Amino acid sequence: MIKNILTITLNPTVDKSSTVENIKPEKKLRCSAPKYEPGGGGINVSRGLERLGVKSVALFFSGGRTGALLEELLDRENVAVKPISTKAETRENFIVVDTSHNDQYRFGMPGESITTEEAEELNKTINSLEPFPEIVVISGSLPEGIEPSFLRSLIKTLKAKGAKIIADTSGDALQEVVNEGVYLLKPNLGELSALTGRKELDNESADEAAMELIGKGAAEIIVVSLGPQGAYLVSKDKCLHVPAPSVKKLSTVGAGDSMVAGMVSKLATNSPLQDVARMGVACGSAATMSTGTGLFTKENAERLYKWLSK
pLDDT in tens, 264-294: 999 999 999 999 999 999 999 999 898 766 7
Q: Are strands 13-20 and 91-98 parallel, antiparallel or unpaired?
A: parallel
pLDDT beyond 90 at 48: yes
229 pLDDT band (50/70/90 cuts)?
Answer: confident
Strand partners for 234: 222, 239
What is the domain class of 5-308 according to CATH?
alpha beta
* Cα angle for residues 217, 165, 118 (degrees, 5° grid): 115
307 pLDDT band (50/70/90 cuts)?
Answer: very high
Could you confirm whether 103 is annotated as catalytic? Answer: no
The active-site residue, picked from 15, 168, 257, 275, is 257
Q: What is the pTM of this model?
A: 0.94
User: What are the b/e assignments for 189-200, b being 16+ CB within 10 Å?
Assistant: bebbbbbbeeee
From first CA to last CA, the distance across the chain in angstroms is 26
pLDDT of residue 292: 63
Q: Taking the CB of residue 247, how many other CB atoms lie within 10 A of it? A: 14
Distance, CA of 86 to CA of 112 (rounded, Å) = 10
Task: Please compute the mean of the pLDDT values over residues 214-225 and round it to a whole number.
Answer: 96
pLDDT in tens, 131-163: 999 999 999 999 999 999 999 999 999 999 999
pLDDT of residue 251: 75
| Local structure of 303: helix, strand or coil | helix
